[in-house]
Chains A and B, each alone.
Chain A
Amino acid sequence: MTTTPTSTRPAARRTRGLQASRTRIALLLLVPMLLVLAAVAGYPLLRTIYLSFTEYNILQDAAPKWIGLGNYWFTTPEGVGLGVLQIPEWWQSVWNTVKFTLGSVVLETVLGLAFALIINSKIRGKGLLRTAILVPWAIPTVVSAQMWNWMYNDSFGIISQWGQKLGLLQTGESFLSNPDTALAALIAVDVWKTTPFMALLLLAGLQTIPSDMYEAADVDGAAPWTQFWRLTLPLLTPALLVALIFRTLDALRVFDMPFIVKGNAPETITMSIYARQEMILNSQFGFGSAISVLIFLIIMVFTAIYVTSLRVKFD
């Protein structure tokens, strides 16, 4: 930090005293924020982890009863698996979430990149386009879920009508009511809502690429397609990675939209919806907490990959 020359002792002591008091002030300034964060994040997380090792029906039991790893893995003498990791519904929700994440993140990245390239081009009207793509982003998730719910409605929905005209759907059927297409229908909603965010992040990345690089490529006679693969894409990789990881983390914990549109339906239940169903609807706080802890671990593994692979710096 500060190197103190040995010849000026009083000055050094004064500097050290000043430094100590500055540290004290910094701590005082941080205390309120840290207390609140400990109360709303630290304590509840520890409490959830503790509850995951207990049996606790919030409506019936007076206090949580310690059962060790029983919520995660427990086989009855009859050979029935009752732990989360042995229950097919959990693995169904994991599988649904993985499919949802892969589908939505890949589509959002491709579409978002296309939007960003269009807005970044030297064409008139790009301001209008940039403003327009902010609309889906500004719409609350609940509202966008209900808007699409209406468009997917089996008898009055415009998308169901298109699907029926194209012969993709039977009369009175919708993409949501058909279990084979329900998850894809939800992915479409997420793509619509989140592609703008992706496009804005990528646009910021595109704008950091110096234009003289493209001029040099033009002089060398590189075709636009070559310029995209050899110049734009490599230089965009950092921004692309950040955006990808942000979206992956969001998609892995998705709750609102699938829950509003499809509730707890098995074909679209996500990990978060499953956890809330066990915890709140079935009052199984111990078992539900175990599911929450598993989700937390999955998210933290992804975050660790993010922090290490991008070497995030803070100072």
Chain B
Amino acid sequence: MNSKNPTVRAVTLILFWVVVAIVLFYVLFPFYWALKTSFTGPSRMSSEALQWFPTHATWQNFRDVFAGQPFGRNLFNSVAVATGTVLLSLLLSLLAAYALGKFRFQGKSILMYVILAVSVFPQIAVLSGLYTMIQSFNLYNTWGGLILSYMIFTLPFTVWTLTAFVREIPTELEEAAYVDGASPLQTLFQVLLPVMTPALVTTGLLAFINAWNEYLFALTFTSDNTAKTVPVAIANFTGASQYENPFGQIMAASVIVTIPLIILVLVFQRNIVSGLTAGAVKG
């Protein structure tokens, strides 16, 4: 692109835009295809499945998802579990991050190593132990069981990111509160918390997305729709009869759970990009 020759520059520019167009197509096409399928009614599915545009767009699949399936209940379960997970892990990690970010004590780096180790725990490694524990506490097939088990992947992440953030807060703020006679908890909740709002929003959002998308624990620790979350429901969608192809409904359900996520991600994209990369690049 440094060339002085206008023809070369034009050709490079066109080539570049062709590449950009290919990338855009690759990234967006599968989602477009799901969207298109979700607007194709069940009776036309076999004749129009391969058409690029829906000729008779209909909301039929979206209605069927809520009428024929317990999808509303699954959505409710997912919202409850993900919200519970975020609130609990933010509260626990806020306390821990204050200690790890602003206090000096022995064994701190060992503790950070342990938390890092937990963050790479394969979920499958604790599955049998968690399963027997959840059963003995009568948490099988409940929101509580899922929220508790989700701590294994949200907590290390939230502790880690919030600690990095607390460390950056100027110590003067805390010292001033101490001089004024504030207790540690007052300092945390009245002085540090307001400063931390952006970090809490980003961290909470990423934890929410992780909890919302979780599949293995939700599949293993639930048995029916009292606690079954959206990912399990979407993975197991069945038609009214075994010959009916429920892909229209699966795509409608997929679109319903994905659009809010895409909107959230687009609104908060700057925070998300910095949140993701801060955790990863700093190690």
Contact = CB atoms under 8 A, between A and B. Distances in A.
A43 B28 contact: no
A279 B128 contact: yes
A200 to B, nearest CB: 6
B67 interface: no
B155 A37 contact: yes
Interface residues of B, number: 91
B99 A45 contact: no
Given A134-B265, A140-B258, A146-B254, A288 B280 contact: no
Contacts of A260: 215, 235
Contact of B31 (A139, A142, A252): A139
Nearest to A42: B118
A209 interface: no
Interface string A209-246: 00000000010000010000000000000010011001
Best-buried of A23, A30, A205 by chain B (most CB within 10 Å): A30
Interface string B204-215: 000001001101
Interface string A270-299: 011001100110000100110011011001
B104 to A, nearest CB: 6
Interface stretch (A74-82, A98-106, A147-155): A147-155
Given A41-B118, A48-B125, A138-B261, A143 B234 contact: yes
Contacts, number: 286
A146 B234 contact: yes
Interface of B is mostly: helix
A97 B53 CA distance: 37
Contacts of B99: 25-27, 29-30
A192 interface: yes
B269 interface: yes
Nearest to B213: A140
A158 B33 contact: yes
B181 to A, nearest CB: 14
Interface string A127-144: 001111111111111111
A276 B133 contact: no
A272 B124 contact: yes
B233 to A, nearest CB: 9
Contacts of B209: 138
A146 B95 contact: no
Interface in B231-283: 231, 234-235, 245, 247, 250-251, 254, 257-258, 261-262, 264-266, 269, 272-273, 276-277, 280-281, 283
Interface stretch (A4-12, A166-174, A307-315): A307-315
Contacts of B92: 32-33, 36
Interface string B123-165: 1111111111100000000000000110110011001000000
B2 interface: yes
A156 interface: yes
B216 interface: yes
B120 A249 contact: yes
Nearest to A197: B276
B50 A156 contact: yes
B197 interface: no
Given A25-B103, A123-B16, A243-B280, A289 B120 contact: no
B125 A295 contact: yes
A41 B152 contact: yes
Contacts of B46: 156
12 contacts: A19-B104, A29-B103, A33-B93, A33-B96, A34-B96, A43-B133, A45-B126, A121-B16, A134-B262, A146-B235, A288-B128, A303-B117
Interface of B: 1-2, 16, 19-20, 23-24, 26-28, 30-31, 33-34, 37, 45-46, 49-50, 92-93, 95-96, 98-100, 103-106, 108-109, 111-113, 115-118, 120-133, 148-149, 151-152, 155-156, 159, 184, 209, 212-213, 215-216, 220, 230-231, 234-235, 245, 247, 250-251, 254, 257-258, 261-262, 264-266, 269, 272-273, 276-277, 280-281, 283
Given A33-B95, A48-B126, A296-B121, 7 more contacts: A25-B99, A30-B99, A37-B118, A136-B31, A138-B265, A143-B258, A204-B280
Q: Which 3 A-B pairs have the closest CB atoms?
A: A44-B129, A47-B129, A26-B103
